Amino acid sequence: MATDIVIPTVGESVTSGVIAAWSKAEGEWVERDETVLELETDKITMEVPAPAAGVIKHAAAEGDEVDVGAVVGTIDETAAKPAGAAAAAPAQAEAGASAAAAPAPAAAVAAPPAAPATPADPAERAREMNGAATTTPPGEVRATPLARKLAQENGIDLKTVIGTGPSGRIREQDVLAAIRVPAGSGATPVAPAGPSRNISRKKMTPLRQKVASRLVEAQQTAAMLTTFNEVDMKPVMDLRKRHKEEFAETHGVGLGFMSFFVKASVSALKTFPMINSYIVANDDGAPAIESHDYQDIAIAVSSPKGLVVPVLRDCDQMSFADVEGTIKDFGKRAQDGKLGIDEMQGGTFTITNGGVFGSLLSTPILNPPQSAILGMHGIKNRAVEFPEKSGQIALRPMMYLALSYDHRIVDGAEAVRFLVHIKNAIENPERLLLAL
């Protein structure tokens, strides 16, 4: 009896995805609920579990685009289970639990030699268990086709990459991590072979395609305009300096700038509710304004596969520690591709921080169907009049703020006052505590 491996329903708006990697090779034994493949959609990367135990057969290749509901492989439940397979899964689970509980070893301790890759063919595994030599060539690196392609394009030697896939197989995420390793970290650089005029081309990921289409949609459908202001960050920086150690000890998370801007945005959205609204279509197709009495703020987060915008729900009910902890969690899971599709839907306003990448000024693009987005930027010491209206000049840590908004629903004066409200809240952080 063979059981089909079917692409599951991911979300209401997701109809297809790309097979990023098979976690189990053709002819390999798989246990029920064990991950068999990674599916990359235009919103998230998800793991597809095995519907039964048996020997796997692929019906689609890595890199293939497949529809929701499509059969991409089968599992032969009548196949004989190879010796040792039953003990392997519990042993691996126990090892994983021990690794999670134990502290990381010191950098000076040499790592144990990597375990040999598990042969994909059951017969080959049996020969290995009986002491026979395997057919795997010595020194061969196990890697997915996408990982090999990415490594070749970026000059990465796969022998220097640590694989995190099954049996140490190198996945796309592992190569991306190797690309990000800074010089001097111990990674072996690959010497260039000389000037190259090669041209490479690779297919855009579903996530990158979705981001591109949404950005074009925003520019084509909204009357987008941007207003700017600047904010003196000294009061917030002084507040953080006074309380950051106690805050971290009490809440287990650092006190950053983002929580101040989230709370300032909540205050401004309550004062200017049109900026917290959408333009939508009624049942008869006529345009209407959808208002929200809550503030669900999306936070733009960079991931290896593109920009994602997970949403902080009911921000007015969150503490500073809640905001900082949730954003930190979003950032970590975005890097690992573990954000859920429901976590990236339904935001009423967006904040993006280009300052972490060194941006001094930008005009952020709307995140449809939202009516506005706040752009934060780098903090630079600049000569400004301080104190205000004193005629004196002082160096202050200043940040440019940008608010892009849909002029169809938000008037210019309202947008300017909204940004001034945020400026006042950041320059006088006690206003946030007093709900002013």
Question: Catalytic: 58?
Answer: no
What gap in Å lies between CA 116 and CA 135, rounded to an integer?
12
Catalytic residue among 4, 67, 314, 407: 407
What gap in Å lies between CA 118 and CA 57, rounded to an integer?
17
Instruction: Please give the angle made by the CA atoms of 193, 196 and 198, to the nearest 5 degrees.
Output: 125
Question: Catalytic: 293?
Answer: no
- Residues labelled as active-site residues: 407, 411
